[in-house]
Chain A
Amino acid sequence: MDGRVSLRQVAMRFGDFTAIQPTSLEIESGEFFSFLGPSGCGKTTLLNMISGFLTPSEGSVTIGGTDMTRVPVNRRPTAMIFQNLALFPLMSVYQNIEFGLEVRGIDRQARRRRADELLELVALAGSGDKPVADLSGGQKQRIAIARALAVEPRVLLLDEPLSALDLKLRQHMRTELKAIQRKTGITFIYITHDQGEALTMSDRVAVMSEGRIRQVADPMTLYRQPKTDFVANFVGENNRFPGRVVSREAGMVTLDVGLPAPLAGHSTDPLEPGDEATLYVRPEQWRVGPADDRRLPLSGVIRTEHFEGAWLTLEIALEHGPTIRAHVPHAAAGKSLEGQFAVGSVCRLDYSPNQAVVLAGAEAGQPSEEAIDVAATA
């Protein structure tokens, strides 16, 4: 079963508004692929073009090697799981799952057999005769999956299906979705604004903003090697240090960011001394030590301290510089009792330049809730 999806220069315009800029993308057969982005970034529009609810203004959509651009939604080899699940409330669980098979003219016995198999797959065997209204949130979720899988789609499209569930169930369903995907080998295309979902489940993630794909990569690369300011800020947390390039040596770039000493990070962008660039240091990359630890080059004052369970979040105002956020492991945080990480006390800190990323440009990309723009707080 060929579940490749190719988008070639697809664009979507609604009047003057361009929801999707011309975009090309190849999704492999059997891949768990996610579109990650804030609301309004165009990810749902893209999904609707793959499912057939929207016809692109330009470009083509190919599924399994066949051009689907003008094929109506009911004739595409895709199935969708809706954000609100959209189970048919007047039908039983069986009738819901069998709906797509009934449409295809499959006889009653074969339908029932297939429905039972699917109920088995989603661990709800024996609940076929229940009315949909009697199911819990998690059970409804599984029935929606079973209903979509019943039609044996080449591509399963998931539109933020977990957003209505509570945290525990959501985490559990992530594991389960991934397991179902492995078992069935169907291409999963997943839409979410929740980076946790995208990073834990996906083989590859496309980060989107303002109708454009900003980066396509596997979750690890996305986190470690962001290619744009937007991705660096949207995926995980980051401390931004905009500045100018002082020197470059192999992959390592040193930046003057307004601190007493220049800071270094590695970069794949073609940067020359004098160019504007930004250094990104993730909160967990900071090493925070006591005020008398001279091996740590930077110094600052702790402004706030939040207990987060596994770690402490500190906001530290750097000497002659901006305020940064740092995550300190819980084991080290134990010392806060002795006043080392107490609010108002001085600390010293360092990071590993090998893990820090430098990107060209000092302009802030589209800010997101997670982004902490240290330039603004400075």
Chain B
Amino acid sequence: MWQQLRNRFGVPLTMAIVALLGIWLIVMVLLPQWQMIDYSFHPSLLPAERGGEKDVWSLTNYATFFNNDIHLAIFFKTIWSSVLVTLLTLIVSYPLAYYLAKVATPGQAALCLLLLIIPFWINEILRTFAWYIIFAFRGPLNELLFALGLIDRPIRFLNGDIGVLVGMVYAYILFMVFPLYNAIESLDSNQIRAARDLGAGWGRTHRRIVIPHAKPGIATGCIMTFMLAAGSYAVPALLGSPGSRWFTQIIYNWFFEGGDWNQGAAYAFLLLVLCIVFVTVIMRIFKVGLGDIAK
């Protein structure tokens, strides 16, 4: 690779590129991560005590987590809810991506994409607030359902998980739609036509032809959505309730309310491990490599 770069850019520029890459990797990625991990294995101490005899490596911070039933429950709930968000987003995005890639005329597809993207010009917090207003006890959604005669008393959407799920599906839909769209778009339309021509209904055509082809896109979309969902803070903070707390909120609390950075670092590291495990599992299930996802 060094050879290739040198032939292309010359020695000084190549050195500069490699140096910048190295600095970025070390300063922005590796050092902070290492610092985090290092924090997580030390007790929280007053500045005066640091480096003293109390400053030893220990697993206390992790033990705290595994001994706290509530935190454990929230951790697993976060995993489960993120999986649910991922599945819901996939179910919503797949027909949309298929329509954009194979059914819509170029004009319709451009219009649709524009309509999808415009809301994302607005800050995530504000968008989430919009849902907060829609879901409010006396908000427009309840009014509408009431006017249609579907309910006879308002529903507390913001009380449980519904608000969080909907908010997240909405917040991350683009991260699912685009990989899916790219994957489906690259499928030769004659494959779909051939399957239809051989007698396959729409269900079978998707199951046997479109979805297998779109697998790398599905994997990419699921991984991105899951990571964003599991690491989300704004959506559960705004649309959730104390009963639907997210693991990120616990981490936040340790850092900024408990003031215990070491404890928070341990929790954050656990979330990181969880995400890595999830990515690995998904890659196994879909039998895709890192290269497929990077595309």
Q: State the A residues within 8 Å of B (CB).
A: 51-53, 73-75, 78-80, 82-84, 86-88, 90, 99-100, 103-104, 147-148, 150-151
Contact = CB atoms under 8 A, between A and B. Distances in A.
A103 B191 contact: no
B194 interface: yes
B26 interface: no
Q: Is the interface of A mostly helix, strand, loop or mixed?
A: mixed
Given A53-B197, A79-B197, A84-B190, 18 more contacts: A53-B193, A53-B196, A73-B193, A74-B196, A74-B200, A82-B193, A82-B194, A86-B188, A88-B208, A88-B209, A90-B212, A90-B213, A100-B199, A100-B200, A103-B204, A147-B198, A150-B198, A151-B198
A86 B199 contact: no
A47 to B, nearest CB: 11
Contacts of A79: 197-198
Interface in B46-60: none
A84 B188 CA distance: 10
Contact of B199 (A83, A87, A88, A103): A103
Nearest to B213: A90
A74 B194 contact: no
A252 B166 CA distance: 84
A118 to B, nearest CB: 13
Contacts, number: 58
B194 A78 contact: no
21 contacts: A52-B197, A53-B196, A73-B196, A74-B200, A74-B201, A80-B193, A80-B194, A82-B190, A83-B190, A84-B190, A86-B191, A88-B195, A88-B209, A90-B213, A99-B198, A99-B208, A100-B198, A100-B200, A103-B198, A103-B201, A150-B198
Contacts of A83: 190
B183 to A, nearest CB: 13
B200 to A, nearest CB: 5
Interface in B166-214: 188, 190-191, 193-201, 204, 208-209, 212-213
B197 A88 contact: no
A76 to B, nearest CB: 8
A365 to B, nearest CB: 33
A313 B160 CA distance: 86
Contacts of A99: 195, 198, 200, 208
A323 B212 CA distance: 60
A88 B213 CA distance: 10
Given A82-B193, A88-B194, A103-B204, A151 B188 contact: no
Contacts of A100: 198-200
Which of B190, B194, B200, B212 counts the most chain A CB atoms within 10 A? Answer: B194
A74 B199 contact: yes
B193 A86 contact: yes
The 9 lowest CB-CB distance pairs between A and B, nearest first, are A100-B198, A86-B190, A86-B194, A103-B199, A80-B197, A82-B190, A74-B199, A103-B200, A73-B196
A151 B199 contact: yes
Contacts of B198: 74, 79, 99-100, 103, 147-148, 150-151
A95 B224 CA distance: 33
A51 B198 CA distance: 11
Which of A53, A74, A83, A104 counts the most chain B CB atoms within 10 A? Answer: A74
A151 B200 CA distance: 11
A51 B213 CA distance: 25
Nearest to B215: A90
